[in-house]
Structure formats: structure tokens, C-alpha cells
Amino acid sequence: MAKSAEENYEGVWDSRLGFGNKSALVVIDLLKGYTTEGSDLYAPGVVDCVKEMPELLEAAREARILIFHTQVRYNPTNFIDGGVWIKKAPVLKVLVEGNPLAEICDEVKPAEGETLITKQYASVFFGTSFSATLTAAGVDTLIITGCTTSGCVRATAVDCVQNGFRPICVRECIGDRHEGPHEANLFDINAKYGDVISKAEALEYLRGLA
């Protein structure tokens, strides 16, 4: 009888990194395009994610850890900064300044002093100063939230570990447009790149810091 995925990976790809000495939180691309019904980007899993985020954000703010938010923006004239990716995913062309679908969801807007990173590709690390910023701040652990699981979250988790940081993904605070890719990518991240933890575990950690 064939083993389940969990049984196949057990003892081989299931080790844990845990939290390091200093953590930061990143909230990836929680934009209204993903939560507005009728939008081509609409993703029910992101709607659920946004509902879970305020409590986690509050705990992170009380713990006084660094908090970063990301958004995607393109040149609306020619989308040249989207390169080949926007040719593959032209649905992203709504993410331009002035389009309401490109705005950050009201429930998770950055507070004063929190850093907003603008990016054009999936990973928060690609083409930005994010890695250097974390290093300069002495951060060794990145708590990852946002969307989408199979896109920007996964790419960020992979680049996170490749840049020498510990990726910690909070399950309930991550969303995608379909449960299949969502679960498959959380499984892969937890197996090979970082830790996938529950919101309850993340809150316990943050409240312990506070």
C-alpha cells in the first residue's frame, strides 16, 4: 500500500527551524483585488486570511517587532517593470497606482512607522532592499503572512531561507484562490524551506515577547 505524503516525508523532510533571536513580520500583498468579488484576482482564501490578520497584527505591534507590508505596482503606460512575468500573468495589470483594486485592504493598512515595500515580482526579496534591511536590523526570523500561498508567499519563503533567514509561515494568515494549491504549497514550505505554524502558536510567541 502506498504511503501518504505525510508518511513518505516523515523523518526526511519534516525538521523544524523554530524562532531565532529576533523576528520581523511581513504582510504580503493583502490588496483589495484579492478580496473584491468580481475581480479577476478574487481569492476566497485571501478573504479568510484578511479576517484573521488584525489580531496577529495587534500582537506584533504590542511585541514591538518590525512590521513590513508589501504591495505590487506597475508602470501603467507599458508595464515594462513587470517583465516577462506580467506577460505570463496579465491579470496583474490592475495593480497600478490609482486603481482601487491595488489598494491595501482597510483591515490591514500599515500603521505609522511600519515599512511599505513596493515590488514587481513574486518574492519580497527580489529586486528590493529587504534582505539588507533585515540584516541591518539584526533580524534572523521572518514571520510570513499574506497572499498568495502558491505565488508570493512561497517565493518569499524560498528566498527567505536562501538569504539566511528563518521563514515562519502562519497558516490561518495566508490565503490563495483555491484550497488545493494552498495546501500543497504549505506542505512543501513546511517540508523543505521553513516552518508552517498555527495562528495560536504565533500569538503565543508574540505575546511572550510583549
Give pLDDT tens digits for 87-132.
999 999 999 999 999 999 999 999 999 999 999 999 999 999 999 9
Q: Give the distance from CA 20 to its chain's centroid.
A: 19
Per-residue pLDDT of the chain in tens (210 residues, 90 and over written 9): 677 878 777 776 778 999 999 999 999 999 999 999 999 999 999 999 999 999 999 999 999 999 999 999 999 999 999 999 999 999 999 999 999 999 999 999 999 999 999 999 999 999 999 999 999 999 999 999 999 999 999 999 999 999 999 999 999 999 999 999 999 999 999 999 999 999 999 999 999 998
pLDDT tens, position by position, 159-169 = 999 999 999 99
Q: For the range 8-13, what are the long-range contacts, defined as Cβ-Cβ under 8 Å and sequence gap of 24 or more?
A: 9/191, 13/191, 13/192
pTM: 0.95
Q: Where are the beta strands (DSSP E) in the chain?
A: 23-28, 66-72, 115-119, 141-147, 166-175, 195-197
Based on C-alpha coordinates, what's the Rg of the chain?
17
| Contact between residue 194 and residue 158 where contact means Cβ atoms under 8 Å apart | no
Sheet with 195-197, side-by-side order of all strands: 115-119, 66-72, 23-28, 141-147, 166-175, 195-197
What structural domains and CATH numbers belong to the chain?
20-209 (3.40.50.850)
Which residues are identified as catalytic?
152
